[in-house]
């Protein structure tokens, strides 16, 4: 199923992203999780079998989601929670005036292009603006940063702790409720 069909059928709020939940986001958008901190959404990955097959080949993948940024949306300046991960954005649907839709990372402005990706360290200050009348959709990935020991062990321990924290366990419960609601709306349960 192409991402646009998923976007139309599977609107989902930001349940796995601690930073976004605390920000005064303007205009918003949606996050559709396939993986969140290493936890796979069975429902959403089943809806995207080709994407899932590719994602399952990525070493160190921790998070994979479709990020939909609404027209006029602003995600204020913030920082990621750990240096253990790096972030990759793959442009899927980019506004016609791509220069009016941007990611600012520590003083550098980046613009998405359909079919192209970039990688950045989200622990640097960054913000997002979509000053267009069109949605922006990217596949956002978080993968383990290549580290030597003992950094690799510390990063793994930190991410393991996040997975058992209320932040993730509560999000998993919410995702399960959303999946059940979606199944009922589709006549599947």
Residue 23 above 70 pLDDT?
Answer: no
Report, as an integer, the average pLDDT of 12-33.
52
CA distance linking residue 87 with residue 81, whole number of Å: 12
DSSP output for the chain: --HHHHHHH------S-HHHHHS--BS-EEEEEEEETTEE-HHHHHH-HHHHHHHTTSTTEEEEEEEEE-TT-EEEEE--S-TTEEEEEEEEE--SSGGGEEEEETTEEE---BT-EEEE-TTS-EEEEE-SSS-EEEEEEEEEPP--TTHHHHHHHHHHHHHHSHHHHHHHHHHHHHHHHHHHHTT--
Residue 188 above 50 pLDDT?
Answer: yes
Residue 69 above 70 pLDDT?
Answer: yes
107 vs 177, residue with greater confidence: 107
Domain count for the chain: 1
**Residue 174 pLDDT grade (very low, low, confident, very high; cuts 50, 70, 90):** confident
pLDDT of residue 28: 64
Residue 99 above 80 pLDDT?
Answer: yes
Beta bridge pairs of residue 35: 40, 64
- Specify burial of residue 181 (Cβ count, 10 A radius: 0-12, 13-18, 19+): exposed
pLDDT of residue 18: 42
Mean pLDDT of the chain: 82
Which residues constitute the domain of residue 129?
3-185
8 A C-beta contact, residue 34 and residue 64: yes
Q: What is the CATH number of the domain that holds 133?
A: 2.60.120.330
Residue with tokens 């998993």: 172
Tokens of 111: 């613009």
Report, as an integer, the average pLDDT of 159-165.
79
178 vs 35, residue with greater confidence: 35
pLDDT of residue 6: 45
Among the listed ranges 22-26, 119-123, 125-129, which one has the minimum average pLDDT value? 22-26
């Amino acid at each position: 199923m192409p991402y646009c069909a998923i976007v139309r059928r599977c609107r989902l709020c930001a349940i796995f992203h601690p930073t976004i939940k605390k920000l005064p986001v303007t205009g918003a958008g949606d996050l559709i999780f396939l993986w969140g901190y290493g936890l796979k959404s069975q429902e959403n990955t089943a809806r995207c079998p080709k994407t899932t097959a590719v994602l399952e080949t990525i070493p160190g993948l921790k998070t994979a989601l479709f990020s939909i940024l609404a027209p006029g949306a602003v995600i204020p300046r913030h920082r990621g929670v750990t240096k253990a991960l790096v972030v990759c954005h793959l442009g899927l649907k980019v506004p016609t005036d791509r220069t009016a839709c941007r990611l600012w990372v520590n003083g550098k402005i980046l613009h998405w292009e359909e079919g192209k990706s970039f990688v950045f360290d989200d622990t640097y200050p960054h913000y997002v603006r979509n000053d267009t009348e069109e949605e922006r959709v990217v596949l956002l990935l978080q993968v383990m940063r290549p580290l030597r020991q003992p950094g690799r062990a510390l990063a793994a321990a930190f991410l393991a702790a996040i997975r058992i924290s209320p932040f993730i366990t509560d999000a998993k419960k919410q995702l399960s409720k959303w999946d059940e609601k979606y199944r009922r709306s589709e006549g599947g349960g």
